Structure 1
Amino acid sequence: MKIEANDKEVQDIFALGYFKIPRFQRPYSWTDEEVINFWDDVVIRDYEHYFIGSMVVYQTEKPYYGIVDGQQRLTTITLMLAAIRNAFLDYGDENLAKGVHQYIEKANIDNIPEYVLNSETSFPYLQGYIQSFNKAEIQCNVGNEEQNLKSAFELINKKLYAIIPKVDSNEPYNDLFEERISPILETLKSLRKKVLSLKLVFIQLDNEDDAYLIFETLNTRAKDLTTPDLVKNLLLQKLRASNVTLDTFKLIWNGILEKFDNNGLEQTVVESFLYHHWLSKYGDTTQKQLFGEIKKYIDSSSKNDSENKSRLLLLEFQKNSDYYVSIVSPDNHQWSPEEKNSIYQSLKALRLFNVKQQTSMILSLIRAYREIKITLKALRPILWKIECFHFIFNSITSQRSSGSIAPLYSKYAQELSNTENSDKIQSINTNLVRKLKEKLPSFDEFEVDFMDLIYTKNKQRDKKVIQYILEKFIGQNINGLPIDYNSASIEHLLAQSKGDEEIVGSIGNLILVDKTTNSEELKNYDFLKKIEILKDKNYPLDEHLLNATQWTEEEIKERGKAMSHKAYNEIWKL
């Protein structure tokens, strides 16, 4: 590997040729804070020969270079030069504007204008709206990267016009106007010099393969480089585009990211997806070691096999990203009525419990179902058993798994991924439930924590879990009619104003009713009156409510204990 490193100023680098941000690079992502810091260092602090770090490139063919490291800084410098150029135009000096523009766009060997900096991912926004000497008459959507560019460019312009005044474009150009703007033009020239005089270490490599290696070496330890960045880089290195203008593999990867973005999921969820997908099919690892495992898997074969593995893995990611999004964002997925009453309810409950250990197994199960390896009839009970376990283990007793639960799930997830035999799948599910039973807390422990659940207007931490519990106690129907739990509310049988908060808010004093019944019919009546109203409405009352002649702390505790017994031994029984 031949590497050349030299100190250069920005104006010398731009004079070398044309620079392209390769497809494996991250899009422009500088925040306002980073742009402001860069502007202040260049303009306000007025460092002489300000050093801005290194820039790593590889030469494709003279005079074209691919950027490996430094694209965020080079893009920001281009934005600054474009703002200075536009300011020269605002003040009527087209010659000075064209002088700056030669560092943004210049004629190639065929005497055709070409932008010095080119980025595939921001096309055509960067080129048409920022780099163009005359703003192009095009329509384009401002996506994630374009929004960052737009924000940065607007911020740079705001900073620029804070040190020079705006002018009236209709003001006549005469001697008085020229005298007034002369010091402003000098300020712009000074700023131009500062930007073009920025110094950096220019590192040049011979080819793209070396560039990928250097990119990985430079960034593997960087805090802001994520596993998805590294995986993308690795896969696109192995899967070179077969067409200059149509990069199918990059489009597939970007499509995966868009699925998460379109569902309002942060990019950190993409990292979790890659991790859980790997656990569900390939083997145990940690999130920190995931990229190393993927790289070892891809590189452990010949070049052709490595390319084939990369292609198949990318296609796996594409398909499984749909499954994963439905798991982590079930409200945004289109479920059939049968799926809504089973798969959706369990996924929603697991999100309520805020647990992730089971995700590799859930992904394996959903994948098996979507790929018709198991039926909904077979999927429904295993999802429910997993839901039952985590209701008791996490939601009520808040157990610590000591790191044993996630590996247990990944073991059975991998077994499930590697078979299509229905008897084997049933055996896997049975063995998983048996192992979960072994880890289940005792009833005595469950009862204590169950009885500690509380909901009042002052204590609402347990509200969602209590609502979930009360929904399960009622079931899906009352008198054969479906229940709209979205419009249900929790009613205190003994009014909150009539007793001790710990008693009034405990689970034994709570029922679930529709909001109209709660606010307009039950009101603040005493217990017996409320029960009479509920009987008239054929509400499914349990024996403690039907047989009670009074409603005191003793009856509330007795009902709570009975509910805990039914919950552990009947409703959520493994």
Structure 2
Amino acid sequence: MIDRLSKKVVKREMNIKPQDKTIKELLLSGRQFIIPRFQREYSWDKKNYKEFLDDMLNCLIVSDGKVIYDQYFLGTMLFVGDCFEGDKSEIDVVDGQQRLTTITILFSALSDRFLQINQDTLSKQIFKYIMTKNDDGEDVRIIKSKTHYPFFAFYIQEREKTNTKKPSTEEEQCIKETYEYLYNNLSEEKLRAFLKKKYGDDNIDELNYVDILKAVRDQVLNTTFVSISTKERKQANMIFEILNAKGKNLSGVDLIKNKIFEIVNDTEPADYAEEKWKSIKNILNARNVDVGFVQFYRYFWISKYKKSNLNKLYDHFKSTIKPTNKDRYKKFLTEIEDTARIYVLTVSPERNDFQNKKEYFGLVQSIKVMSDYFNITQVRIALIALIEAKEKGIITLTQLKSMVYELENFHFSYNAICSKPTNKLEIIYSDFSISLRNCNDKIEARNIIKKLTNQLNEIYVSYQEFESEFINLTYTKKSNNPDNVITKYVVNKIASYYEGKDIFEDDGSIEHILPESNDINNNNNNNNIGNLILLEQVLNGEADCLEYIDKITVYKKSSYKWIKEFVSSNTEWSDDKIQERSKKLSEFYYTKILAKEISLNALKR
């Protein structure tokens, strides 16, 4: 890496200064480290901060009743400005912000642990690595970032923690979870247990808890890293790309953001890039659901430009978004923002997204089913294009609803029932979405949708495949059965079909015709789809564990058409009829709800 870097430096006549330094030297340099606007927010998850703490603890050496630190290398950090020589000015952190933020959180947790055991001096002393003072004696935060201010300042960088508030963003929640994990795992019990696995009970029991905490502090402070400093932003950005070649350290989205912010660098009268990026994040986080930004961006990209895996996103961005200037990049940010607004409708749609108009209720339900019941994300690629096409006026609401309903049925049979892999669908949906998003003609749009329908029909599950899985669906009220969600969905869909409704209301209850508690053979047969039907909740409680002959009286009170048909066709009911009915329901669902034909050979089996 150094050789490659050197070649680039010579060619461009760069002025960079690599130095071996410790964390202690960095944090006592008197500088304030600014995390620039283009850097990703703090995003380390449990795997990352657990690994960091484990590495620190694994380095500790216990010998002769003492615990001491050992050598540890933390990698490379990249800065704009000189961290160790010259004026004590602000320093921009180009690469290393995740590690420095985590170290600051760890020191805050250590300070609180010292305070808990009445080691006030040690608690105060460690805060000099979190807060420094300027020449006027005023407190200065060593790490400063716009994105997590003021939460980080109050929750981590204030020793008294008097102004703590609940996290309101994904980043703030991440900071809180990191602190809580580190604080909990710095407890005396946890630290001793960790060290005992390595050194045994006798060696650890004689250690003082304060000394263990001090050793953890010293281990972090004496951790070494390579500091690379440069005076020019452009040089830093180029080095940043080299250090993160092929996305090994940062995701493609982080590199894309870095590139956009480098070009769209207007900060007056407002920071255009930052405000747009913030708007995109706010749109995605506005609902109480987990909308991953990386997945969103990738689906945005492959729905509009070209199929791309995560590792190729940055390369494809550079080769596709031309020319490389402010106007094109500003337009690109607007494209992302517009797609974000549509994307949340594909993840967690609400009726009020469509002004609570009844004609949209079925559409909302179909999208929610695919997301919440089937856990299908790839379909969002197609849904983005379909919703956008409706907004552009090149497809009608009827066309939109029809295609979304078709997608719901496809994914029910293909994924929810038959558990087929979704990898081949991504390229189908990408091609469809790119074509439709670049289309401005109604006839062409209709043909694009027809092509997608034909492609899905080519891979539609056969009736034999469908039936073999469908007849094994079960529902139980006794435990968290994985099948419950899909089986309840099936029962609701059949009941809605009988009522002639596009949507199902969650006002009914799953009724076990033969009571679930009466499964004499203990073979789970009474939980099978063939023994289930939808009944009003009040009547379900009334029927409870009655014998079927007595349940008929209760069933006759129901207003549900499916129940009425069942009672008229079944004067008696027994265990041996369940399997036969499950096959009939399978055939009914495939032909009536999925509207698919069954070959004669399949019926003769």
TM-score (norm 1): 0.78
Q: 1:567 aligns with which of 557, 580, 589?
A: 589
Q: State the one-letter code of the partner of 1:201.
A: V
Q: CA offsets per residue over residues 198-244 of structure 1, 9 Å max, x none?
A: 54322112311222232233235566633432332232223213239
Superposed displacement of residue 424, structure 1: 1.9
Alignment of 1:133-144 (within 5 A): 142-143=167-168, 144=170
CA distance in structure 1 between the partners assigned to 2:376 and 2:106 by the alignment: 46
CA distance in structure 1 between the partners assigned to 2:556 and 2:474 by the alignment: 26
1:347 to 2:405 alignment: no
1:385 alignment counterpart = 406
2:147 alignment counterpart = 121
Q: 2:38 aligns with which of 24, 32, 51?
A: 24
CA distance in structure 2 between the partners assigned to 1:516 and 1:548 by the alignment: 22
Q: 1:250 to 1:528 in 2, by over 3 A?
A: same
Q: 1:450 to 1:126 in 2, by over 3 A?
A: closer
- Partner SS state of residue 228, structure 2: strand
1:290 alignment counterpart = 313
1:234 to 2:247 alignment: no
CA distance in structure 2 between the partners assigned to 1:488 and 1:16 by the alignment: 67
Superposed displacement of residue 249, structure 1: 1.8
Gaps of 5+ in 1: 163-184
Q: CA offsets per residue over residues 31-58 of structure 1, 9 Å max, x none?
A: 6636745765589853367654433212
Superposed displacement of residue 362, structure 1: 1.4
2:332 alignment counterpart = 313
Q: State the one-letter code of the partner of 1:4.
A: K
Q: State the one-letter code of the partner of 2:363.
A: I
Q: State the one-letter code of the partner of 2:273.
A: F
CA distance in structure 1 between the partners assigned to 2:187 and 2:470 by the alignment: 63
1:209 alignment counterpart = 234
1:180 alignment counterpart = none
1:540 to 2:561 alignment: yes
1:326 alignment counterpart = 345
2:550 alignment counterpart = 529
- Partner SS state of residue 105, structure 1: strand
Q: State the one-letter code of the partner of 2:561.
A: P
Superposed displacement of residue 515, structure 1: 1.8
Q: 1:55 to 1:518 in 2, by over 3 A?
A: same
CA distance in structure 2 between the partners assigned to 1:490 and 1:99 by the alignment: 60
Q: State the one-letter code of the partner of 2:15.
A: K
Which of 436-445 and 360-369 deviates more?
A: 436-445
1:376 alignment counterpart = 397
Q: 1:472 to 1:208 in 2, by over 3 A?
A: same
Superposed displacement of residue 302, structure 1: 3.6
Equivalent residues of 1:451, 1:561 under 8 A apart: yes
Q: State the one-letter code of the partner of 2:280.
A: I
Number of positions where the alignment pairs a residue of Structure 1 with one of Structure 2? 542
Q: CA offsets per residue over residues 302-360 of structure 1, 9 Å max, x none?
A: 433xx333222222222222222221223697452425532112112323233334321
- Partner SS state of residue 24, structure 1: coil
Which of 139-148 and 253-262 deviates more?
A: 139-148
Q: 1:236 to 1:477 in 2, by over 3 A?
A: farther
Gaps of 5+ in 2: 1-13, 189-209, 597-605
2:95 alignment counterpart = 69
CA RMSD of aligned residues (A): 4.4
Q: 1:412 to 1:127 in 2, by over 3 A?
A: closer
Equivalent residues of 1:392, 1:446 under 8 A apart: yes
Q: 1:218 aligns with which of 201, 220, 243?
A: 243
Q: State the one-letter code of the partner of 1:214.
A: I
Alignment of 1:417-428 (within 5 A): 417-428=437-448
Q: State the one-letter code of the partner of 1:256.
A: I
Equivalent residues of 1:35, 1:152 under 8 A apart: no
Superposed displacement of residue 85, structure 1: 9.4
Q: 1:282 to 1:38 in 2, by over 3 A?
A: same
Q: CA offsets per residue over residues 249-297 of structure 1, 9 Å max, x none?
A: 2233233334444434446x32222222222221222233233222321
1:171 alignment counterpart = none
1:6 alignment counterpart = 19
Q: State the one-letter code of the partner of 1:69.
A: D
Superposed displacement of residue 23, structure 1: 1.8
2:134 alignment counterpart = 107
Q: State the one-letter code of the partner of 1:231.
A: I
Q: 1:535 to 1:482 in 2, by over 3 A?
A: farther
CA distance in structure 2 between the partners assigned to 1:260 and 1:302 by the alignment: 28
Superposed displacement of residue 161, structure 1: 10
Identity of aligned pairs, percent? 29
Equivalent residues of 1:282, 1:414 under 8 A apart: yes
1:435 alignment counterpart = 455
1:514 to 2:528 alignment: no
Alignment of 1:405-554 (within 5 A): 405-456=425-476, 460-475=481-496, 485-496=505-516, 497=518, 501=523, 503-520=525-542, 522-541=543-562, 543=565, 545-553=567-575
Q: 1:125 to 1:517 in 2, by over 3 A?
A: closer
Equivalent residues of 1:368, 1:374 under 8 A apart: yes
Alignment of 1:245-256 (within 5 A): 246-256=270-280
Q: 1:11 to 1:277 in 2, by over 3 A?
A: closer
1:173 alignment counterpart = none
CA distance in structure 1 between the partners assigned to 2:502 and 2:425 by the alignment: 36
Equivalent residues of 1:106, 1:116 under 8 A apart: no
CA distance in structure 2 between the partners assigned to 1:122 and 1:139 by the alignment: 13
CA distance in structure 2 between the partners assigned to 1:443 and 1:533 by the alignment: 35
CA distance in structure 1 between the partners assigned to 2:453 and 2:572 by the alignment: 42
Alignment of 1:32-43 (within 5 A): 33=50, 36-37=53-54, 40=57
Q: State the one-letter code of the partner of 1:341.
A: F
Superposed displacement of residue 371, structure 1: 4.3
Equivalent residues of 2:60, 2:215 under 8 A apart: no
Rg larger in 1 or in 2?
1
CA distance in structure 1 between the partners assigned to 2:580 and 2:216 by the alignment: 79
Equivalent residues of 1:78, 1:104 under 8 A apart: no
Q: 1:532 to 1:481 in 2, by over 3 A?
A: farther
- Partner SS state of residue 413, structure 1: helix
- Partner SS state of residue 15, structure 1: coil
Alignment of 1:180-195 (within 5 A): none
Equivalent residues of 1:476, 1:482 under 8 A apart: yes
Superposed displacement of residue 413, structure 1: 1.5
1:278 alignment counterpart = 301
Q: CA offsets per residue over residues 146-167 of structure 1, 9 Å max, x none?
A: 55556767888899997xxxxx
- Partner SS state of residue 79, structure 2: strand
Q: 1:147 to 1:332 in 2, by over 3 A?
A: farther
Q: State the one-letter code of the partner of 1:67.
A: V
CA distance in structure 1 between the partners assigned to 2:467 and 2:212 by the alignment: 75
Superposed displacement of residue 430, structure 1: 2.1
1:176 alignment counterpart = none
